[in-house]
Amino acid sequence: MAALAVVLPLAAQHGRYLNESRNPAIGKPEAIAAGAKLFSGSCGGCHGPDGGGGARGPNLVQRALWHPLADEAIFQAIRKGIPGTDMPPTALEDEQTWNLVAFIHNLTGPASEQKVPGDAAAGKQVYASAGCGGCHAIRGEGGRLAPDLSNIGGSRPLASIRESILEPSKDLFYLGNEGVSVTLKDGRKLEGVAKNRSNYSLQLIDRKGDLHLLRMNDVKEMTVRANSMMPGDYGKRLTKEQLRDLLAYLAGQTIR
């Protein structure tokens, strides 16, 4: 099941935040803009124009999820390349290199730290009318079935939030989001998300948000969904503006 491919190494990101670079380029709009320009010229050929992946280089947003790098390490990767791969060294000035780092930092960093277009207040309305709160919670309000979104802006790059909404079944970052339904030997039926499961036990959260800690010996039949429980048609249901505003609202969800 491809659905369980990538587990986000949350803890691995400690390095990133604890070693926050003090280079003035980081977070500076002019530096990010200069970096973006450089990127489309020198890097986009391989990594795609927006870093979203291309013929000869990986998607940098996704890569940062499993290989988060401190700013200094991004600097070194650009300067020295990655020996043995297609990623070439560069001969750019320090300042230009830092501009590129600023661009990548922004691209791969939490959405809450990015400049995100759109109207967050309108996005909150979209969130409500699209029924997101039926499954997700923000600061204690909403469902418990699906991942908590209280810190979604503070923990995910914008591009990855967008992808989660538009293509929910494409890439499930967490083990623990499979939709399951079970019939128990005593006849009860339960449906929800398997927070975890093995051949021996199942930890299920139901649509009401209650936990059921089950032994597989008590389970008669189980059905597992191969794709996400999250509706897959938001790309069609939401207008461009609605999606933009929704993203602005979600980008602002941070606990810090």
Partner 1 sequence: MRNCFLIFACTAGLTAQVKYDAIVQGPRADWLTYAGNYQGWRYSPLTQITAQNARMLTPQWVYHVPDARGLRSSPLVYDGVLYITNTNSIYAVDARTGRQIWQWADPRAKRQGVNRGSAILGNRVYLTTADNYLVALDRRSGGVVFSKKFADEGKGTTSTSAPLIVKDKVIVGSAGGDSGMRGFIAALSAEDGRELWRTYTVPAKGEPGAESWGDLIEWGGGAAWLSGTYDPELNSLFWTTGNPWPDFAGATRKGDNLYTCSLLSLDLDTGKMKWHFQFTPHDTHDWDAQSWPVLLDTEINGRPRKVVLHANRNGFFYALDRVTGEFLRATKLIDNVTWAKGIDDKGRPMEIPGQDPTPEGNWVCPSVKGATNWMGQSYSPLTGLLYVITLEQCGRYNMSSQTPKPMSNFSGGGATEEGGQVIVRALDPKTGKRVWEYPMTGAGRMWTGTVSTAGGVLFTGDDDGHFVALDAKSGKNLWHFNMGELSTASPITYSVDGKQYVAIASATAVFAFGLFEPAEPVTTPAITVVK
Binding residues vs partner 1 (CB under 8 A): 1, 10-11, 13-14, 16-18, 110, 137, 139-140, 144, 148, 150-151, 154-155, 176, 182, 195-196, 198-201, 203, 205, 209-217, 219-227, 255-256
Paired with 215 in beta bridges are 201
For residue 24, give the nearest of 13, 14, 34 by alpha carbon: 34
Paired with 196 in beta bridges are 203
- How many Å separate Cα 182 from the centre of its chain? 29
Q: Residues 120 to 139: which contact ligand HEC by CB under 6 A? A: 127, 130-132, 134-136
The answer to whether the CB of 144 falls within 8 A of the CB of 98 is no
Residue with tokens 């919670």: 137
With CB cut-offs between 5 and 8 Å by kind, which of ligand HEC, partner 1, none does residue 216 bind?
A: partner 1
With CB cut-offs between 5 and 8 Å by kind, which of ligand HEC, partner 1, none does residue 40 bind?
A: none
Pairing of strands 201-206, 189-197: antiparallel
The answer to whether the CB of 69 falls within 8 A of the CB of 77 is yes
Which region, judged by CB under 6 A, interacts with ligand HEC, from 20-28, 75-83, 114-122, 195-203?
A: 75-83
The answer to whether the CB of 214 falls within 8 A of the CB of 194 is no
Which residues contact ligand HEC (rule: CB under 6 A)? 39, 42-43, 45-47, 56-58, 60, 63, 67, 69, 74, 77-78, 82, 85-88, 90, 100, 104, 127, 130-132, 134-136, 146-147, 152, 161, 164-165, 168, 172-173, 177, 193, 228-231, 234, 246
